[in-house]
Amino acid sequence: MKKHLLSIDDLDADDIATLFTTAAEMHDLQHRQVKKLPALRGRTIINLFFEDSTRTRSSFEIAGKWLSADTINITGKGSSASKGESLRDTVMTIAAMGVDALVMRHGASGAAHQVSQWIDAAVINAGDGTHEHPSQALLDAYTLQRRLGTLEGRHVVVVGDLTHSRVFRSNVKCLAKLGAEVTVVAPPTLMPSGVAAWSAEAGFATAYDLDQVLPKADAVMMLRVQRERMSGGYFPSAREYTVGYGLTRDRLRLLGPDVPICHPGPMNRGLEIAADAADAAQSAVLDQVSAGVAIRMAILYHLLAGEGAAQ
Amino acid sequence: MSQPVSYPMTDTILIKGASLLGDQSADVLLVDGTIAEIGSLSHAGARVIDADGLVALPGLVDLHTHLREPGREDAETVLTGSQAAAIGGFTAVLAMANTSPVTDTAEAAERVHDLGRVAGLVDVHPVGAVTRGLGGEELAELGLMHRSRARVNVFSDDGRCVANARVMRRALEYVKAFGGVVSQHAQDPDLAGSTSCCHEGEISGRLGLPGWPGVAEEVIVARDVMLARHTGSRVHVAHASTAGTVEVLRWARSQGIAVTAEVTPHHLLLTTDLLGDYDPTYKVNPPLRPAEDVEALRAALADGTIDAVATDHAPHARHDKEHAFVDAAFGMLGLETALPVVATVMVESGQMSWADVARVMSTNPARIAGLDAQGGALEVGQPATLTLVDPATPLVVDRDQSVSMSRNNPWHGRTLGASVHATLLRGVPTVLEGKLQ
């Protein structure tokens, strides 16, 4: 495995399989009364979050603590640019304190990639702008694999604001590596730019009509749609979005009863996902959250203590 | 050319054996700042420049330079920018108005002009802002800047587009009175807003970067071409970057509309594919575009649809580039490498001759900016303002060797197909053997 986890591109199918095997062991740990392993004792992990996050930050924090690492959270709203300090100065300052891993969330695409070129510590991308969110994609695929047995040849439908989604960008890469067929669905205004030129090579199909795609889905992944996109003219109203692209009660009937429904959260109930779908027996939303801790333990373990990890 | 440098101080210089515009070889005698004689010459007491194998061009003129003074003297000053210009073979530069304070008054223009005089390496011509404070709403004092000691002819809000059609129309009408020209940074702010940091297309879609599409440039160019026709005034398109802009320009020329255009060296060679590592060195506005646009721009420069190469030299302090890509400053260095890039892209490929290079880097920009003392022919009686290019010695770019104060150099590590040997401004060598005098 590479030193950093910046993008799903940093992993091959074997790496993903290794992470899933470890994650399964870690997952079992969650059901024990004493959840701590000594694997990362004496190691320091900084969660550096330039953007608000509840679930990802706490998930990484719990993962680090259960591996006995010292985890410290640093949150700073807004970009360092607005404070007059360069990003490089900010992370060099933190790295100089002697950290082993930097788990980083930043509102700018590519920020984790840039930081990995400046500091010695392992950098784990916990979401960079609208670029990637690799740990989310791994936990999504892990969850689906447990539900479906395998992702090979399975048809996964991803629906929502693709333009602004790092979850989409990481997920299509991860699912393609695991052999899934992927169709992404969005109105044309929320399709990423130039998608026709790169979707085939990246291994996914695109569609505008959700109702045509849903009956053929083995799994559905709904993405969050931010209401402020309406003011950007991406779609006319929440109501119209829901009618066209929401997983409504009616659309739930188009799905087989065993088709898992994923959502990375936080959910806009009533906009992209109806309460009936979010709370359905086939919903995998809470499984995703618990898998998140296990996957992040596996990532931290392999990057910091696994074979070939930088000591 | 390895002759030891110990020239006698004299007002008379004999350039021996230069290839004039890449054509026939001749000796050129410079006396008192003027080309006195051309032929097979000897002149006792003249300081001799051995120009065997060198190409003589009229001194290069840059329509588009950011010198950062006043306001950001930690990135560049009029002096260091002048030095970079001279090293690059330039004898005149137009200094953009987006300084702090903005060059929007006669006094501000005269200050930049005077700093250029003091530096004394190139003619520094301030560009005046079109609108007060680059605000896009009220006209700056265009006439007073023109009447000032700085004799401002070119006006631009560069860095920002004059987006309001009414303001653009009035500016074009107003400068007709004194033959001024408006140089437009064509970027529709509704189609390409403040977060747009790269070309919108496949690469931006993959990288998750907010892009700006070529059409945001093209709609403004198309609008301004029609405004130029309506007003009967002259518009100049700064840093044309797309094939669509070329199409509009070609149509406008076929209609006889008074529009001129420039292209930067980086838009002639670098493409948006360089953004894969999110290196802000390659963040520039307008952004690097795909290869199809680069090809169209080269063809347009070769066939005269685009009149000039202009650097858009944009120095930045290191810390202003060490942000996340979307937060980092726009711009890249260009003065020292412009001619070597054009030699690589246009001359080595056979698309242009050295005479064409003289046209797009000296004659045309001087004409567009209304500079009488620049861009002259290599003829007896013309100012002794010229550049000697060594087409046999490539330039290996090392950003740490730059005389600019900044290091945002996208050419670092590249080998470019020619180098500037000497620059002379009205008979005075500012650069000899590639070194500042």
Domain ranges of chain B: 12-56+382-436, 59-369
State the fold for domain B12-56+382-436.
Urease, subunit C; domain 1 (2.30.40)
Domain presence at residue A143: yes
Q: Residue A309 — very low, low, confident or very high, per pLDDT cuts 50/70/90?
A: low
Domain presence at residue A248: yes
Q: Is A81 on the interface with B (CB under 8 A)?
A: yes
Q: Residue B3 — very low, low, confident or very high, per pLDDT cuts 50/70/90?
A: very low
pLDDT of residue A81: 58
Asked whether residue A83 falls in the same domain as residue A165, the answer is no
Q: Answer yes or no: is pLDDT of A77 > 80.
A: no
The answer to which of B37-46, B207-216, B263-272 has the lowest mean pLDDT is: B37-46
- Give the contacts of A31 (CB within 8 A, at least 6 positions apart): none
C-alpha B46/C-alpha B428 separation (Å) is 13
Determine whether the interchain pair B324/A114 forms a contact, defined as Cβ–Cβ distance below 8 Å.
yes
The per-residue pLDDT for range B172-188, each reduced to its tens digit, is 999 999 999 999 999 99
Angstrom CA distances, A26 to A8, A269, A302, B411, stand at 21, 31, 12, 49
Q: What is the mean pLDDT of residues A239-266?
A: 96
Q: What is the mean pLDDT of residues A229-250?
A: 92
For CA atoms A191, A195, A17, A35, give the dihedral sign. Answer: negative
**Contact status, residue A155 vs residue A216, Cβ threshold 8 Å:** yes
Q: Is A132 on the interface with B (CB under 8 A)?
A: yes
Return the active site residues of B: 312
CA atoms within 13 A on the CB side of A102: 32
User: May I ask the CATH class of domain B59-369?
Assistant: alpha beta
Q: Indicate the average pLDDT of chain A.
A: 94
Asked whether residue A276 falls in the same domain as residue A293, the answer is no
The per-residue pLDDT for range A136-151, each reduced to its tens digit, is 999 999 999 999 999 9
Closest chain A residue to the Cα of B191, Cα to Cα: A232
Q: Answer yes or no: is pLDDT of B1 > 50.
A: no
CB-nearest partner of A193 from B204, B278, B325: B204
Asked whether residue A143 falls in the same domain as residue A284, the answer is yes
pLDDT of residue A35: 86
Domain presence at residue A3: no
Q: Is B293 helix (H, G, I), strand (E, B) or coil?
A: helix
Q: In chain A, what residues touch B326 (CB-CB under 8 Å)?
A: 108-109, 129
Asked whether residue A200 falls in the same domain as residue A211, the answer is yes
Q: Answer yes or no: is pLDDT of B6 > 80.
A: no
Minimal Cα–Cα distance from A192 to chain B, Å?
Answer: 5
Q: What is the mean pLDDT of residues B224-246?
A: 98
C-alpha B245/C-alpha A35 separation (Å) is 63
Domain presence at residue A311: no
For CA atoms B155, B161, B163, B165, give the dihedral sign. Answer: positive
Residue A22 sits in a domain whose CATH number is 3.40.50.1370
Asked whether residue A231 falls in the same domain as residue A172, the answer is yes
More confident site: B252 or A310 = B252
Q: In chain B, what residues touch A202 (CB-CB under 8 Å)?
A: 206
- Give the contacts of B203 (CB within 8 A, at least 6 positions apart): A194, B209, B272, B273, B275, B276
Domain presence at residue A63: yes
Asked whether residue A21 falls in the same domain as residue A115, the answer is yes
Which of A80, A114, A167, A170 is the best residue to mutate to test the B interface, defined by the most B CB atoms within 10 Å of its own CB?
A114
Domain presence at residue A197: yes
Determine whether the interchain pair A194/B202 forms a contact, defined as Cβ–Cβ distance below 8 Å.
yes
**Contact status, residue B110 vs residue B149, Cβ threshold 8 Å:** yes
Asked whether residue A156 falls in the same domain as residue A84, the answer is no
Question: What letter would DSSP give residue A87?
Answer: H
C-alpha B273/C-alpha B270 separation (Å) is 8
Q: Residue A80 — very low, low, confident or very high, per pLDDT cuts 50/70/90?
A: low
Domain presence at residue A309: no
| Domain residue limits at A116 | 8-133+289-304
The per-residue pLDDT for range B51-107, each reduced to its tens digit, is 999 999 999 999 999 999 999 999 999 999 999 999 999 999 999 999 999 999 999
Determine whether the interchain pair A194/B278 forms a contact, defined as Cβ–Cβ distance below 8 Å.
no
The answer to which of A58-72, A215-229, B97-111, B123-137 has the lowest mean pLDDT is: A215-229
Asked whether residue A163 falls in the same domain as residue A270, the answer is yes
Q: In chain B, what residues touch A198 (CB-CB under 8 Å)?
A: 202, 205-206
Asked whether residue A167 falls in the same domain as residue A90, the answer is no
Q: For chain A, what is the domain count?
A: 2
Determine whether the interchain pair A110/B200 forms a contact, defined as Cβ–Cβ distance below 8 Å.
no
Q: What is the mean pLDDT of residues A261-265?
A: 96
Asked whether residue A271 falls in the same domain as residue A146, the answer is yes
pLDDT of residue A76: 80
- Give the contacts of B397 (CB within 8 A, at least 6 positions apart): B337, B340, B409, B411, B412, B413, B414, B415, B416
pLDDT of residue B43: 87
Q: What is the mean pLDDT of residues B316-321?
A: 96
pLDDT of residue A310: 47
Domain presence at residue A225: yes
Which of B327, B330, B408 is the best residue to mutate to test the A interface, defined by the most A CB atoms within 10 Å of its own CB?
B327
Determine whether the interchain pair A198/B202 forms a contact, defined as Cβ–Cβ distance below 8 Å.
yes
Asked whether residue A212 falls in the same domain as residue A235, the answer is yes
Q: Residue A307 — very low, low, confident or very high, per pLDDT cuts 50/70/90?
A: low
Determine whether the interchain pair B325/A114 forms a contact, defined as Cβ–Cβ distance below 8 Å.
yes
Minimal Cα–Cα distance from A134 to chain B, Å?
Answer: 14
pLDDT of residue A84: 76
pLDDT of residue A229: 75
Q: What is the mean pLDDT of residues A62-82?
A: 85
Q: Answer yes or no: is pLDDT of B7 > 50.
A: no
Q: Answer yes or no: is pLDDT of B2 > 60.
A: no
Q: In chain B, what residues touch A7 (CB-CB under 8 Å)?
A: none
Asked whether residue A165 falls in the same domain as residue A239, the answer is yes
Q: Within its chain, how far is the Cα of A230 from the centroid?
A: 24
